């Protein structure tokens, strides 16, 4: 089984969605998640303070502008690093390894 086939099967099984949800939930419950949320709120509040006309925009225009500003800042860099570190933890690695093993064993059994 090729690595691309394994990835495709993991997607079909919903493994990546499950992993994403677990990471998000864990992050939201952590101190780092709260700090990130506070950082984002402060960032948005500062943008509005500096340009109150942002509040006059329709919601999609406001969202696009703020998202663009957040992307330009380094706000997501630390978040990305934290998530990558979390994925290195043994509990996540064990879960990933087990899921890959299950997919490959099933594929081998189907071939026979």
Q: pLDDT tens digits for 73-106? A: 887 887 888 888 888 889 989 999 999 999 999 8
CA–CA dist 49, 89 (Å, integer): 40
Say if residues 5 and 110 touch (Cβ distance below 8 Å): no
Say if residues 51 and 59 touch (Cβ distance below 8 Å): no
Q: Where are the domains of the chain?
A: 3-107
Token pair 């340009």 in the structure block, residue: 51
User: Whole-structure pTM over 0.95, yes or no?
Assistant: no
């Amino acid at each position: 089984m090729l690595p691309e086939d394994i990835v495709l099967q993991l997607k079909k099984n919903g493994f990546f969605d499950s992993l994403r949800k677990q990471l998000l939930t864990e992050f939201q419950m952590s101190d780092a998640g709260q700090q990130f949320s506070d950082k984002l709120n402060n960032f948005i509040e500062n943008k509005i303070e500096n340009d109150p006309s942002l509040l006059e925009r329709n919601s999609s225009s406001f969202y696009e502008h703020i998202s663009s500003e957040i992307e330009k800042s380094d706000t997501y860099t630390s978040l990305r690093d934290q998530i990558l570190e979390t994925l290195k933890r043994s509990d996540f690695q064990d879960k990933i390894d087990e899921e890959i093993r299950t997919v490959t064993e099933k594929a081998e059994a189907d071939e026979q």
